[in-house]
Amino acid sequence: MRRTGIHLLVILSLVVGAAAVTDAVVVTDRERMEEFVKAVTGRVSDARIDNALSYADPSKVTMELVHNGRRHRYSDQNAGDLKPDARKALATLAGSKLHLIQENISLDGEHARIALRLRTNEGLANTVFDLRREDDRWLLRRVTVN
């Protein structure tokens, strides 16, 4: 009887351990969205811009940037313009820090929306990121900055 209890305890420990390892290894969509929020907040630098742009691939998903009432679309024809345009748009914020005030993440199948309210040196900014899952990656579809 005692031996059976020990065997059950060992089996239970293995099952719990395997579940914990699986949970640590598997990255959920919610965790990926949290990683994205970390990529687009903090101190504005070329490295941080490049990190945020790693979520954009205009050759796979056409991306639209809406800022100050202007729309810019990036596809495989002008994908090379995205990085310089983003750096130019964020030049006035270089070196400043984007402080996260509020976030709202919604996931719906292959689509995600992240709405952020940020405090900058210039004041408050509301930004909405629409993403779409392509294979196992989340890619930017639209960025709206107000």
Domain ranges of the chain: 28-145
- Taking the alpha carbons at both ends of the chain, their separation in whole angstroms is 69
pLDDT tens figures, 43-72 = 888 888 888 889 999 999 999 988 878 899
CA 132 to centroid of chain Cα atoms: 11
Interstrand relation of 70-74 and 111-120 (parallel, antiparallel or unpaired) = unpaired
Burial 31-43 (b: 16+ CB within 10 A, else e): ebbeebeebbbee
Q: Which backbone phi and psi does 135 adopt, to 5 degrees?
A: 60, -115
For residue 96, pLDDT over 80 is answered with yes
Q: Is 56 helix (H, G, I), strand (E, B) or coil?
A: coil
CA distance 86 to 76: 16
Q: Which backbone phi and psi does 134 adopt, to 5 degrees?
A: -120, 115
Note the pTM of the prediction, 2 decimals: 0.78
For residue 17, pLDDT over 70 is answered with no
The two structure tokens encoding residue 35:
């990683």
Interstrand relation of 97-108 and 70-74 (parallel, antiparallel or unpaired) = unpaired
The overall average pLDDT reported for the chain is 82
Nearest to 123, CA basis, from 103, 142, 96: 96
Q: Is 97 helix (H, G, I), strand (E, B) or coil?
A: strand
pLDDT at 91: 74
pLDDT at 63: 94
Residue 13 — pLDDT band, cuts 50, 70, 90?
very low
For residue 75, pLDDT over 70 is answered with yes
CATH for 28-145 is 3.10.450.50
